[in-house]
């Protein structure tokens, strides 16, 4: 980031990346333009934003004039985050969804079993995470709705069949197919050089059937192709311990904290936490609970994170995982 952007601007930019329709994107871009500090060092960004806004308005107008043929899928976000599972044919995508979530996709030892995206909920301790299985990507097969699904995801799991000599090629093809559609799988999510057309999405390479003896050679071969820079997790779904490790890893990808709230004078509610990005403040939590509360918020009492029990804190106070928070409005 070149120009001392405010946290408010960065938040708007993150919302823009996660926007699921042209209409939503336009709203976010307009907000970003308002929030962007206007000085010499942001001139190029202002211009880029305006170009992107113009393009997106044109897209929306075109969509309205001629509704797109072909299917589009929208999965309202649920739980602590939305994680999309992608990969070549037979890479273990559906097996991953079946192993980690409550969904029951068809899992089969032949390719092209999955024809439509399918969501499921994964449980990690007291948090739910939304996983979405998708049809395979190959040289000859690419569902047109996939870039949007991937771009607005909180994270991507890219499956690599550790037991197949085809995996390096197949997986490189997946990366390249998305790159050619301005969607880059990467270590962190965000925009490339503030271009607002190329989106990076945080990705974990999930190496399935990883007990296979040839897995390290295949990964070394894939690394030589240098199409992808991200972390990896080896998994064998036949082993429960290995599956559980992947579940932990997927939750950690989201980089969120859990927060519990209590109404003043009421008992604490430890049943279903709010989840917010690491670094979130009391004010962020108030906004999530109710947008009016963010305005009227005076102070909060917090239990946890090394404070005295029930210590009063201001709206800028940064919360920690598992804090219990009592929000006090005007």
Ligand X SMILES: Nc1nc2c(ncn2[C@@H]2O[C@H](COP(=O)(O)OP(=O)(O)O)[C@@H](O)[C@H]2O)c(=O)[nH]1
Smallest distance from ligand X to CB 171, Å? 11
Q: Which of 25, 42, 56, 90 binds ligand X (CB under 6 A)?
A: 90
Give the whole-angstrom CA distance, residue 153 versus residue 132: 10
Residue 231's binding partner among Mg ion, ligand X, none (Cβ under 5 to 8 angstroms by kind) is none
Name the segment binding ligand X (CB under 6 A); options: 198-206, 234-242, 277-285, 289-297.
234-242
Give the whole-angstrom CA distance, residue 107 versus residue 94: 6
Smallest distance from Mg ion to CB 242, Å? 20
Name the segment binding Mg ion (CB under 5 A); options: 114-122, 199-207, 213-221, 319-327.
114-122
Considering only residues 66 through 105, tell me which ones interact with Mg ion, judged by CB under 5 A: 93-94
Name the segment binding ligand X (CB under 6 A); options: 38-46, 53-61, 64-72, 235-243.
235-243
Where is 93: in which H helix or E strand? helix 93-100
Name the segment binding ligand X (CB under 6 A); options: 122-130, 180-188, 229-237, 262-270.
229-237
Helix (H, G, I), strand (E, B), or coil: what is residue 225? Answer: helix
* Encoded tokens for 2: 């070149």
Q: Among residues 119 and 190, whose Cβ is nearest to ligand X?
A: 119
Q: Give the burial class of 141: count Cβ atoms within 10 A of its Cβ; 0-12 exposed, 13-18 middle, 19 or more buried.
A: middle
What's the per-residue H, E or C state across 8-69? HHHHHHHHHHHCCCHHHHHHHHHHHHHHCCCCHHHHHHHHHHHHHHHHHHHHHHHHHHCCCC
Residue 208's binding partner among ligand X, Mg ion, none (Cβ under 5 to 8 angstroms by kind) is ligand X
Tell me if 56 contacts ligand X by CB under 6 A. Answer: no
Print the binding letters for residues 106-125 with ligand X: x by CB under 6 A, - otherwise. -xxx-x-xx-----------
* Inter-CA distances, 77 with 19, 130, 141, 188, 323, Å: 11, 7, 26, 20, 24
Print the binding letters for residues 185-224 with ligand X: x by CB under 6 A, - otherwise. -----------------------xx---------------
* Encoded tokens for 220: 């070394």
Give the whole-angstrom CA distance, residue 187 versus residue 113: 29
* Binding footprint of ligand X on the chain (CB under 6 A): 87, 89-95, 107-109, 111, 113-114, 136, 159, 208-209, 235-238
């Amino acid at each position: 980031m070149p120009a001392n952007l405010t946290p408010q601007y960065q938040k708007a930019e993150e919302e823009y990346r996660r926007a699921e329709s042209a209409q939503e994107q336009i709203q976010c871009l307009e907000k970003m333009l308002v929030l962007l500090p206007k000085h010499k060092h942001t001139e190029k960004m202002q211009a880029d934003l305006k170009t992107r806004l113009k393009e997106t308005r044109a897209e929306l107008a075109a969509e309205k004039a001629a509704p797109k043929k072909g299917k589009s899928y929208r999965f309202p976000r649920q739980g602590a985050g939305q994680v999309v599972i992608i990969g070549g044919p037979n890479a273990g995508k559906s097996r991953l969804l079946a192993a980690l979530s409550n969904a029951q996709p068809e899992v089969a030892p032949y390719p092209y079993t999955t024809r439509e995206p399918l969501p499921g909920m994964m449980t990690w301790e007291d948090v739910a995470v939304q996983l979405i299985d998708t049809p395979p990507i190959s040289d000859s097969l690419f569902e047109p709705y996939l870039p949007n699904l991937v771009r607005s995801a909180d994270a991507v799991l890219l499956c690599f069949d550790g037991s197949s000599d085809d995996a390096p090629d197949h997986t490189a093809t997946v990366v390249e197919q998305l790159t050619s559609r301005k969607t880059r799988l990467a270590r962190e999510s965000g925009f490339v050089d503030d271009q607002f057309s190329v989106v990076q999405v945080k990705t974990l390479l999930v190496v399935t059937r990883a007990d296979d003896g040839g897995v390290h050679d295949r990964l070394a071969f894939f690394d030589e192709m240098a199409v992808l820079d991200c972390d990896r997790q080896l998994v064998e779904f036949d082993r429960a311990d290995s599956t559980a490790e992947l579940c932990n890893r997927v939750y950690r990808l989201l980089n969120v904290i859990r927060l519990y709230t209590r109404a003043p004078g009421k008992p604490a509610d430890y049943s279903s936490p709010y989840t917010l990005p690491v670094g979130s403040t009391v004010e962020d939590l108030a906004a999530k609970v109710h947008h009016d509360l963010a305005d009227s918020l005076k102070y909060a009492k917090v239990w946890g994170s090394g404070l005295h029990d029930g210590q009063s804190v201001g709206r800028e106070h940064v919360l920690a995982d598992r804090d219990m928070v009592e929000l006090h409005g005007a």
